[in-house]
Structure 1
Amino acid sequence: MIDFDNLSAHCDFLVRGLLGERERFEAYVRDRTEGLNQDERDIFFDIHSYDYWRISDIFPELQAASAFLMTYAVFEKNLNDICCYSNCQKDLDLSLKDFRGQGIERAKLYLSKVCGLSSVFEGVEWQEVLEISNLRNAISHASGDLELDKSQHKKAFNYANNNNKIKVVRCSHNVGTAHVELTLDFVKKLCRKSQNIFGETMFRNLQNFT
């Protein structure tokens, strides 16, 4: 079963795997360059610089982005499951499918209007969820490349720029653009926040409803 505990543990698994791969590569470099003169070492490093760049920068970013998208998907599924659960428990006339929209906004509308759980969505946690939703769209649809003249991209940039677990790179060759690089530490923190929303805030209000 994929839940926030397993997603968080998966982040730890990925960190260990990436660290191990980097250590193996560095050991390989030390072994192959032993006894070489400086010119030979420089040539070797030039040949293998791309491999090191992928292992140290690209692969961690890809793993973090993938883990983030999966965590967001589980968050959205949990919201939809709560909508279905509420519908079955109270035998409501309206189901989630009767509402326009999609994703977390549609689930919020259903839980607020039909289930009376509007207070859940008034706290700071939900405001951050909305900011993370903008970030998710930027990662999913633009691979983290932001055009700052677009409203959603600007919001994603502002959120990322104020989060020390996310790296923001301004593109010097293209003014008005930036790139966000997630970290597995950020995803782990997101798992904890999501668990808190569903483990305490959401279900405490849901018990009052049912």
Structure 2
Amino acid sequence: MKQYFSNIRRHFSVYTYLEEFEEYCEIIESQFDNKIRKFKEMENKVPKEHLDAFWDFYVDEYHDIFVAFPNIHRSSLCISLHTFLEHQLDSISAELQRNYDLKISPEDLKDKGITRSKTYLKKVVGINFPDSAPHWNFITNCNLIRNQFAHNRGILDKSKDNKKIINAISQLGHSYIENDEFIRLEKEFCPKFIEEIKLFLDMLFDEIDIYIKENKSQENPAK
């Protein structure tokens, strides 16, 4: 007998995890803000004739506070968020396969990552997957950015995918390319990514709820 989800949102606990990501992001970014504020206060106290010596001494710390550490945090969180979403979609696909005794599994498909889950839920399960929503477009653009961080440290090379990445960055906002080479994420990027994942999953869960109700009614037609 098929075991249906009583509450798919609660079943996967996605919002709890996303709230944890959100809180973590706020804490880390606030620490960066505090360090930047203290650094600027220290700089403002230095007499103009001593500024060159100040910068000679603190140039490495400036780079860490303003560039290196924020970029490590934001790129790592971007990768983690994408991995989280990919895992959730894999889990949803596997759960629906088990619940509905589907012969084809997600692993049987040639696609990979979030694209495989989309294909499975849309074409195998038959869910009205919300891939035309702007939230999914945001996520797929983040996928390109995530891959570049994961495989090339966020550095653009002469790859044929560069045009796709540049176009993705122009659509995403809160991100830019520094010196025609380095992908940089601004403070607002990760909170925006978290919000887009929430909105997308809301739409997906709504469609799964509809699918479950329709299949229940087919199994129990009115007599």
Give the TM-score band, short-chain normalised: 0.7 to 0.9
Matched, 1:56 2:56: no
Q: Once the 2 structures are TM-superposed, how far is the Cα of residue 25 of structure 1 from its aligned partner? A: 4.1
Give SS of 2:182's match: strand
Query: Who is 2:179 aligned against?
Result: 170
Task: Name the amino acid aligned to 1:47.
Answer: F
Cα distance in 2 for partners of 1:49, 1:74 equals 36
Query: Normalising to structure 2: TM-score of the pair?
Result: 0.78
Q: What's the CA shift for 1:30?
A: 6.7
* Unpaired runs of at least 5, structure 1: 172-177
- Per mean C-alpha deviation after superposition, the further-off stretch among 106-115 and 15-24 is 15-24
Match of 1:88 among 98, 102, 124: 98
Q: 1:134–1:153: 8 Å Cα contact kept in structure 2? A: no
Superposition pairs for residues 139-150 of structure 1, below 5 Å?
139-147=149-157, 149-150=158-159
The Cα shift of 1:42 comes to 2.7
> Structure 1, residues 129-172: CA drift from partner, whole Å, max 9, x if none?
2222111111111111113x53322211112134431122233x
* Alpha-carbon distance, 1:63 to partner: 0.9
Percent identical: 20
The more displaced of 21-30 and 73-82 is 21-30
Aligned twin of 1:202: 204
Residue of structure 1 in register with 2:23 after alignment: 9
Structure 1 counterpart of 2:190: 187
CA distance in 2, matches of 1:127, 1:28: 43
What is the aligned length? 198
Give the deviation of 1:116 after TM superposition: 0.7
Instruction: Give the corresponding residue for 2:88.
Output: 78
1:100 corresponds in structure 2 to 110
User: How far apart are the structure 2 equivalents of 1:179 and 1:41?
Assistant: 29
Question: What is the Cα deviation at residue 123 of structure 1?
Answer: 3.0
Whether the 8 Å CA contact 1:165–1:185 is kept in 2: the answer is yes
- Offset of 1:58 from its aligned partner? 1.4
**Cα distance in 2 between the residues matched to 1:205 and 1:106:** 18
- In 2, Cα distance between equivalents of 1:23 and 1:142: 32
Helix, strand or coil at the partner of 2:188:
helix
Distance 1:23 1:119, change over 3 A: closer
Aligned partners of 1:37, 1:69: CA distance in 2, in Å?
Answer: 42
Please list the CA deviations of residues 171-194 of structure 1 after superposition, one character each: whole Å capped at 9, or x if unmatched: 3xxxxxx32101231110110110
78-87 or 154-163, which moves further after superposition? 154-163
Contact 2:135 2:200 in 1 (8 A): yes
Normalised TM-score (structure 1): 0.83
Instruction: Report 1:145-164 matches (<5 A).
Output: 145-147=155-157, 149-164=158-173
RMSD of aligned alpha carbons:
2.3
Q: 1:101 to 1:164 in 2, by over 3 A?
A: closer
Change (3 A) 1:166 1:90: same
Q: Secondary structure at the match of 2:156?
A: strand
Q: How far apart, CA to CA, are the structure 2 residues paired with 1:72 and 1:197? A: 13
